[in-house]
């Protein structure tokens, strides 16, 4: 069932992936209408959308996805035909220390959006629509070193409060399709990296700490393996799902690019030695800290389904993508300096100061 998105509501639009999606979508589809909604919590930064503020088809709305009535109003007033749901609490460390916010935002918030969409798109009047839910590979649990990568058929086995909250939201989205007939799709992606990434996550944290000459904290032995995906390639995959994905289906979006954390850090240090030589050798800043509770050892995405059905293929190699990312943080010091306030410093102390 093909779909042609014309008027989009993007939740979590001032966050990392959400803002990149808004940039990508308006570049590729300048005639589309995009309503960017964000509650502007710690990881939501209005400045992430500065470059599209003047676009005639863009509008920002400061609201929470738990405000069901407000969402209904927006769907009606803006005649939204496509909802792309990025909004989520997304950092595993934060979920370990404070899971309540994750259950509220990721589960109750997703349900709030589904209720509003059902009311406007199905109950009041049958309207062509698509509700796309952006999820994570962490819902599948962890993989042994030689195990095959996660497919869409893999059993859900979440191991952190964050992953469990995303797994629950996936199931709720699925239920609204099978029970009520809401036109939904779900994507589970591997680790993203690129511009506007809040520096609590590995790659931006390492880059920023290199620039500031601070220790580079590595959990445990650093041999946890992740599949890394450049954020614009993720946006490209969602674009394909919105336009050509089968209703009710789940699609894994991956980078075919597995790296151990310690190898990622070493590579970033080598790039920083080239781009920021006054701090070289940055590898000397590596510091091993106590491992995260319940730390999954390996994630890997099998993206065969989206590749075969929709023609998806990442355009960035890791070598090109990581160089672009390092250069972006060097060129945008004012951005990352603004977002690293008191709560951010407290987070780092809570997780890495041991």
Eight-class DSSP state of 160 = S
Mean pLDDT of 300-314: 97
Instruction: Give pLDDT tens digits for 99-125.
Output: 898 999 999 999 999 999 999 999 988
Q: What is the pLDDT of residue 1?
A: 64
The pLDDT value recorded for residue 296 is 83
What are the boundaries of each domain within the chain? 7-193+231-256+295-316
| Residues of the chain above pLDDT 90, percent | 83
Euclidean distance between CA atoms 338 and 231, whole angstroms? 22
Catalytic residues: 137-138, 162
Quick check: 101 and 93 in contact, CB under 8 A? no
**Of the candidates 259, 254, 258, 257, the residue with the CA atom closest to the CA atom of residue 302:** 254
d(C-alpha 140, C-alpha 157), whole Å: 5
Check the CA dihedral 142-144-145-149 and report its sign: negative
Mean of the per-residue pLDDT values of the chain? 92
DSSP string, 99-134: THHHIIIIIIIHHHHHHHHHIIIIIS-----EEEEE
Query: What integer pLDDT is reported at residue 202 of this predicted model?
Result: 93
CA-wise closest residue to 3 among 238, 303, 172: 238
Tokens representing residue 292 in the block: 């995260």
> 7: which residues sit within 8 A by CB, 6+ positions away?
32, 33, 35, 78, 79, 80, 81, 82
Q: Cα separation of 211 and 278, whole Å?
A: 9
* 175-179 own/partner pairs: CB under 8 Å, 24+ apart: 176/114, 176/117, 176/118, 176/131, 177/247, 177/248, 178/248
Q: At what angle do helices 110-118 and 161-180 cross, to 10 degrees?
A: 10
Q: With bands split at pLDDT 50, 70 and 90, how would you rate the model's confidence at 353? A: low
**What's the pLDDT tens digit per position in 125-170?**
889 999 999 999 999 999 998 999 999 999 999 998 999 999 999 9
Per residue in 7-43, pLDDT tens?
Answer: 999 999 999 999 999 999 999 999 999 999 999 987 7
CATH fit for domain 7-193+231-256+295-316, picks 3.30.420.10, 3.40.50.720, 3.40.190.10, 3.90.550.10: 3.40.50.720
Cα separation of the two ends of the chain: 53
Per DSSP, the residues of 63-96 read --TT-HHHHHHHHHHTT--EEEE------HHHHH
- Residue 326: left (phi > 0), alpha (psi -120 to 50), or beta? alpha
This prediction's pTM: 0.93
| pLDDT the model gives residue 104 | 94
Region 226-235: what's the mean pLDDT? 97
Contact 181, 332 (CB under 8 A): no
């Amino acid at each position: 069932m093909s779909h042609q998105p014309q008027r989009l509501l993007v939740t979590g639009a001032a966050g990392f992936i959400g803002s990149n999606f808004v940039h990508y979508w308006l570049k590729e589809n300048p005639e589309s209408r995009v309503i960017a909604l964000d509650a502007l919590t710690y990881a939501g930064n209005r400045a992430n959308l500065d470059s599209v503020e003047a676009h005639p088809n863009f509008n920002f709305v400061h609201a929470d996805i738990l405000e069901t009535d407000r969402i209904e109003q927006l769907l009606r007033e803006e005649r939204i035909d496509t909802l792309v749901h990025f909004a989520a609490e997304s950092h595993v460390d934060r979920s370990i220390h404070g899971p309540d916010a994750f259950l509220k935002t990721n589960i109750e918030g997703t349900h709030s959006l589904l209720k509003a969409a059902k009311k406007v798109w199905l109950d009041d009047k049958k309207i062509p629509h698509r509700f796309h839910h952006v999820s994570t590979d962490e819902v599948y649990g962890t993989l042994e070193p030689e195990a095959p990568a996660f497919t869409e058929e893999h059993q859900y086995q979440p191991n952190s409060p964050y992953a469990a909250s995303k797994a629950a939201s996936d199931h709720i989205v699925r239920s609204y399709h099978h029970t009520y007939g809401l036109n939904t799709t779900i994507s589970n992606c591997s680790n993203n990296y690129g511009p506007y990434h809040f520096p609590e996550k590995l790659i931006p944290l390492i880059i920023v700490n290199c620039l500031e000459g601070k220790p580079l904290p590595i959990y445990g032995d650093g041999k946890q393996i992740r599949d890394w995906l450049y954020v614009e390639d993720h946006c490209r995959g969602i674009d394909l799902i919105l336009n050509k994905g089968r209703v009710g289906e789940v699609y894994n979006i991956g980078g075919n690019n597995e790296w151990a954390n310690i190898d990622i850090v070493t590579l970033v240090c080598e790039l920083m030695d080239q781009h920021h030589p006054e701090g070289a050798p940055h590898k000397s800043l590596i510091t091993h800290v106590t491992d995260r509770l319940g730390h999954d050892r390996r994630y890997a995405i099998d993206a065969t389904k989206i590749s075969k059905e929709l023609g998806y293929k990442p355009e960035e190699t890791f070598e090109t993508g990581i160089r672009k990312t390092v250069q972006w943080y060097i060129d945008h010091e004012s951005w990352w300096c603004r977002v690293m306030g008191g709560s951010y410093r407290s987070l780092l102390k809570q997780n890495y100061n041991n």
